């Protein structure tokens, strides 16, 4: 039985679809995924004979990423996806991996994400904002790589409507509202921030970083519809105002 209570002790496998992902924000990805576990397995898949993968080639050695060669067997068809999926299933069946990071904006990995989650393992997706919603929702959490590129200092210092952060939108309010309704609340209507976050992740591929915040608490404080206060045990409490 795997223990998921201690995120930093998780053995996470990072699988990169180099044919369909830009290396521009790899540093941000490694920072985020590193907060969710230890990235002991790092592989990037693609046809390394292509000049388009030159940027990736320069980063594999720097970040200890193993380049997995896959030639294009048939023009217009990607054998990379199949190779990456087979390796993911091999890792899953060995039972030594506690979570997967999949860097791709390709909806072809939807079945893979669903299958991994059926075994109770988290799947962290990393792609562009144009990634099909079906794949985003199949992931335990999905991160918009463009949002991850924000400077951390800027994230914490500026309000949600300023440069670098997405304004509060209807979709976000719906997710947080549904999570709040599903959370256990005290007689004053407060729930714990941790439970609110867990409920939000359960109903969508919600991630605070997609809105320009490194922490959920900073995001909630920027939403005018919610009030945040410290609890007696030091845990943060959240209440919906309207």
- Of the options 3.30.70.270, 3.30.420.610, 3.40.109.10, 3.40.390.10, the CATH number for the domain spanning 158-240: 3.30.420.610
Question: What is the average per-residue pLDDT within 133-147?
Answer: 89
In whole angstroms, what separates CA 96 from the centre of its chain? 21
Residue 109 confidence class, pLDDT cut points 50, 70, 90: very high
Q: Where are the domains of the chain?
A: 7-149, 158-240
List, for residues 199-230, the tens digit of each pLDDT value: 777 655 677 877 878 788 888 888 878 888 88
Superfamily of domain 7-149: 5'-nuclease (3.40.50.1010)
Query: Which pLDDT score is estimated for 165?
Result: 54
Tokens of 220: 């909630």
């Amino acid at each position: 039985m795997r223990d998921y209570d201690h995120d930093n002790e998780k053995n996470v496998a990072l699988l990169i679809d180099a044919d369909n992902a830009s290396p521009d924000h790899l540093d941000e990805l490694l920072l985020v995924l590193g907060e969710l576990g230890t990235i002991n397995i790092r592989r990037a898949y693609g046809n390394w004979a292509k000049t388009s993968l030159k940027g990736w080639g320069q980063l594999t050695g720097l970040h200890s990423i193993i380049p997995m060669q896959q030639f294009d067997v048939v023009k217009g068809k990607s054998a990379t996806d199949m190779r990456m999926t087979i390796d993911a299933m091999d890792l899953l069946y060995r039972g030594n991996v506690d979570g997967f990071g999949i860097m791709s904006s390709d909806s072809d990995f939807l079945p893979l994400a669903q299958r991994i989650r059926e075994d109770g393992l988290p799947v962290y997706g990393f792609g562009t904002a144009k990634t099909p919603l079906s794949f985003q929702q199949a992931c335990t959490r999905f991160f918009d790589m463009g949002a991850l590129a924000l400077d951390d200092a800027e994230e914490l210092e500026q309000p949600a409507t300023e440069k670098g952060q997405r304004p509060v939108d209807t979709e976000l309010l719906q997710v947080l509202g549904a999570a709040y309704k599903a959370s256990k609340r005290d007689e004053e209507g407060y729930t714990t921030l941790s439970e609110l976050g867990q409920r939000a992740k359960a109903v969508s591929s919600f991630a605070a970083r997609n809105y320009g915040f490194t922490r959920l608490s900073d995001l909630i404080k920027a939403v005018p519809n919610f009030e945040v206060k410290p609890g007696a045990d030091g845990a943060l409490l959240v209440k919906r105002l309207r």
